[in-house]
Amino acid sequence: MRRPLVAGNWKMHGTRTSVAELIKGLRQLALPTGVDVAVLPPCLYINQVIQGLDGKALAVGAQNCAVEPMQGALTGEIAASQLSDAGCTLVLVGHSERRQILGESDGVISRKFAAAQSCGLVPVLCVGETREQREAGKTLEVVGRQLGTVIEDLGVGAFSRAVVAYEPVWAIGTGLTASPEQAQEVHAAIRAQLAAENAEVARGVRLLYGGSVKAANAVELFGMPDIDGGLIGGASLNADEFGAICRAAGN
């Protein structure tokens, strides 16, 4: 059995004051015991969140890391080794906002994935198609290529210490959610692509769904056989809503 994971991606949201409020709300949550829960604040607030959540069974991660694993001359970036030093245990790589707005390529994302793993962080590889790609019937091809680059570059074994998040771009922050069946189809394809290389790795890897997940749709999505939890954007900024989503993963 794969243990569900729910991770809250705060994106570029927060101030010291609003982060303190959110920490307070998170501390009060009754979290299910059978679910791994994580939050991914902006880097500036990682220390505040780690200190504020001390003693609470909640992991903290980052939304991005540098292509180079170790500290050095790379202005404006943060190394996976530094995230690990700060107390992070996981990091997103290849979120669609970074692919689209910042032009991150599959090759760059592979390097970040490797950098994260080399510092003991669990990379959460984000994949997903745009609305145009879905309408053109290219969803599985696009997702297959995004996943395939990392498999080719690092080998399927890398996925024994990683998580994959399927996030259809058209469902992110739009209020449109993939139906449980649409999401399951892509999750099954991702697992099959990994299984073609190594069945054991495929069976063990957690595949999260992301894109307008709320407490109201989480139970149905998490009920699908290949959906092992969620990557939550907007709804993770509200502690009570986030807590309800975490409990849905425990059902």
Going by the DSSP 8-state scheme, the letter that residue 233 receives in this structure is: S
The answer to the question of whether 212 is labelled as a binding residue is yes
Contact between 241 and ligand PGA by CB under 6 A: the answer reads no
Residue 231's DSSP bridge partners are: 7, 210
Tell me if residue 187 is catalytic.
Answer: no
> Looking only at residues 172 through 191 of this chain, which bind ligand PGA when binding is defined by CB under 6 A?
172-173
Picking from 141, 221, 140, 219, the residue whose alpha carbon sits closest to that of residue 177 is: 221
Strands (E), 140-200: 163-166
Contact between 210 and ligand PGA by CB under 6 A: the answer reads yes
The catalytically annotated residue of 97, 104, 129, 167 is: 167
Picking from 58, 112, 115, 60, the residue whose alpha carbon sits closest to that of residue 90 is: 60
Applying CB under 6 A, which of residues 110, 212, 217, 239 lies at the interface with ligand PGA?
212
Task: Give the contacts of 74 (CB within 8 A, at least 6 positions apart).
Answer: 66, 68
Tell me if residue 167 is catalytic.
Answer: yes
Applying CB under 6 A, which of residues 50, 142, 162, 231 lies at the interface with ligand PGA?
231
What distance separates the 2 farthest-apart alpha carbons in the chain? 48
The answer to the question of whether 9 is labelled as a binding residue is yes
Contact between 14 and ligand PGA by CB under 6 A: the answer reads no
Residue numbers at the binding site for ligand PGA (CB under 6 A): 9, 167, 172-173, 210-213, 231-235
Catalytic positions, please? 95, 167
